[in-house]
Amino acid sequence: MASWIRFRSRFVAALLVFALTSITVMGCATNGSESSPSSPGTDAGYDSAAKAPEQSSNDVQQRTDLSNEHISSWNRYEVVSDTSVRIFFSMGNPKCHGVRATVDEDSSAVLITLYEGTLPNAPTECAEIAVNASLLLTTRNPIGTRSVITG
pLDDT tens, 42-97? 334 444 444 455 666 679 999 999 999 999 999 999 999 999 999 999 999 999 99
Domain count, the chain: 2
Tell me what pLDDT residue 121 has.
92
Measured from the Cβ of residue 38, the count of other Cβ atoms closer than 10 Å reads 11
Tell me what pLDDT residue 69 has.
97
Residue 145 has pLDDT above 70, yes or no: yes
13 and 84 belong to one structural domain: no
Phi, psi of 113, deg, nearest 5? -110, 125
Tell me what pLDDT residue 92 has.
95
11 and 62 belong to one structural domain: no
89 and 25 belong to one structural domain: no
Domain range enclosing 66: 57-151
Nearest to 135 by CA among 58, 76, 39: 58
Tell me what pLDDT residue 29 has.
40
pTM higher than 0.75 for the full model? no
Computed over every residue of the chain, the mean pLDDT equals: 76
Q: How far apart are CA 15 and CA 93, in angstroms?
A: 23
Q: How far apart are CA 83 and CA 18, in angstroms?
A: 37
Residue 31 has pLDDT above 70, yes or no: no
Mean pLDDT, residues 12-37: 41
